[in-house]
């Protein structure tokens, strides 16, 4: 089971998950939670890959602080950034190397990387996420946007991350590949992981979310549970800061 509870709000629970919190709210561990970012980065939603997660975080009932990405990764938190090419990949290296970046310490003996084990693990996960083509030795820059996103996901599945933050998960991805990414996110929740999606795409939010926080002018405008979700409700909060009467 996942080891953390809420990430900002409550949402879908998976079997056997322990309760806890990451951010605010109450609920069970495995979730699909979204923050609506109608104006992109201007929304005030900030996941900074250079300093780690910003804000106050409680994990398994205790406050935690991350001064750098390594600390967040060690706690089971992973970020799939909005700008994949600048912040998510090393373009000239293979899928295998990109997937193994936070995992080399687990695949090294006496300072030597166990390449056979590395390739085996990456290949198995790449097959599970339907990487196309299934060629982990190919330079990641030669893959489509959707398959680059799958390769980044391989990295965090290999690391065993419990909480995955998808910042604009389908930005720059074609329509067909979007559906695949959505299915993968839904499968992750079913498998017991917690998901945060930061998105400016309303259909994406409505499809993926059990709980939504809407940001407006850098501040929290409101929170909607699944039963309250509608295009009108989200847009009302995003534009006026309150729900329409």
| Nearest-angstrom CA–CA distance, 225 and 159 | 31
CB within 8 Å of 116: residues ≥ 6 apart: none
Q: Is 44 left (phi over 0), alpha (psi -120 to 50) or beta?
A: left
Phi first, then psi: give them for residue 53, nearest 5 degrees: -75, 135
Q: What is the DSSP letter of 168?
A: S
Structure confidence at residue 5 (pLDDT): 33
Q: What is the DSSP letter of 37?
A: -
SS (H, E, C) 41-60: HHHCCCEECCCEECCCEEEC
Q: Is the pLDDT of residue 137 over 50?
A: yes
| Nearest-angstrom CA–CA distance, 208 and 20 | 22
**Average pLDDT of 174-194?**
92
Structure confidence at residue 35 (pLDDT): 57
Cβ atoms of 234 and 212 within 8 Å: the answer is yes
Task: Report residue 88 CA to chain centroid gap.
Answer: 12
Q: Is the pLDDT of residue 17 over 60?
A: no
| Tokens linked to 144 | 């489509």
Cis peptide before 115 (omega within 30 of 0): no
Output the CA–CA distances (angstroms, integers) from residue 184 to 61, 203, 208, in the order listed.
Answer: 28, 17, 11
Output the CA–CA distances (angstroms, integers) from residue 125 to 130, 163, 168, in the order listed.
Answer: 9, 17, 22
- Chain segment 64-107, per-residue pLDDT in tens: 888 888 888 999 999 999 999 999 999 999 999 999 999 998 88
pLDDT over 70 for what percent of the chain? Answer: 77
């Amino acid at each position: 089971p996942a080891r953390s509870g809420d990430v900002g709000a409550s949402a879908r629970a998976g079997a056997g998950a322990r309760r806890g919190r990451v951010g605010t709210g109450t609920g069970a561990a495995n979730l699909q939670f979204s923050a609506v970012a109608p104006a992109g980065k201007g929304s005030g939603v900030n996941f900074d890959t250079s300093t780690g997660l910003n804000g106050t975080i409680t994990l398994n009932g205790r406050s935690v602080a991350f001064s750098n990405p390594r600390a967040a990764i060690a706690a089971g938190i992973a970020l799939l950034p909005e700008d994949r090419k600048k912040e998510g990949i090393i373009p000239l290296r293979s899928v295998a190397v990109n997937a193994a970046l936070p995992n080399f310490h687990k695949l090294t003996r006496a300072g030597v990387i166990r390449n056979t084990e590395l390739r085996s693990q990456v290949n198995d996960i790449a097959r599970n996420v339907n990487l196309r083509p299934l060629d982990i030795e190919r330079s990641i820059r030669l893959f489509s946007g959707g398959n680059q996103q799958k390769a980044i996901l391989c990295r965090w599945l290999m690391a065993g991350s419990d909480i995955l933050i998808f910042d604009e998960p389908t930005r720059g991805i074609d329509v067909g590949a979007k559906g695949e990414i959505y299915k993968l996110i839904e499968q992750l929740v079913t498998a017991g992981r917690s998901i945060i999606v930061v998105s400016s795409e309303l259909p994406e939010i409505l499809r993926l979310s059990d709980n939504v926080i809407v940001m407006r002018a850098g501040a929290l405008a409101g929170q909607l549970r699944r039963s309250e979700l509608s295009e009108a409700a989200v847009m009302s909060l995003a534009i006026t800061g309150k729900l329409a009467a």
